[in-house]
């Protein structure tokens, strides 16, 4: 699946309340596992499939994120939904900070820094005695 988000995705883990209407018009409520999030969308792990295009609400302590289902795929342990937020609904760290939040770009930067330091140490290491 191709990642089409412009903003970086932050990996996360948190439980959020979700709401949507099923195909009969019945309001459904559940708890979902928030897998990743960006300014304009999120990925959720849920127990049941949800049709593409379904309006979807993610509720957190200080507010609501509103969007539509862009993908729904089954992977070994459940269904993963891609939610694209509506234009007026954007995620902000100031409003909602998931319990576990990781920016993968920081890992890449740390690894690159560590490799650079290791290379520098190797260059200045004393020659072994003969």
Mean pLDDT of the chain: 83
Element (H, E) at 107: helix 104-124
Summarize pLDDT for 13-53 with one digit per residue, the tens. Answer: 899 999 999 999 999 999 999 999 988 999 999 999 999 99
Outline where DSSP puts E strands in the chain. Answer: 10-21, 27-38, 41-46, 55-60, 63-75, 78-85, 100-102
Summarize pLDDT for 57-76 with one digit per residue, the tens. Answer: 999 888 999 999 999 999 99
Domains with residue ranges and CATH for the chain: 10-124 (2.40.10)
């Amino acid at each position: 699946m191709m990642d089409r988000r412009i903003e970086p995705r932050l990996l996360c883990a948190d439980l959020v309340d979700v709401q949507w209407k099923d195909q009969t018009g019945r309001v459904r409520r559940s708890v979902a596992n928030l897998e990743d999030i960006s300014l304009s969308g999120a990925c959720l792990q849920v127990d049941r499939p949800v049709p593409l295009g379904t309006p979807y609400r993610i509720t957190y302590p200080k507010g609501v994120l509103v969007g539509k289902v862009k993908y729904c795929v089954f992977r070994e342990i459940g269904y993963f939904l891609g939610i694209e937020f509506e234009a007026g609904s954007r995620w902000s760290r100031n409003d909602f900070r998931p319990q576990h939040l990781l920016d993968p770009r920081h890992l890449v930067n740390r690894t690159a820094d560590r490799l650079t330091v290791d290379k520098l140490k190797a260059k200045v290491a004393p020659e072994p005695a003969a």
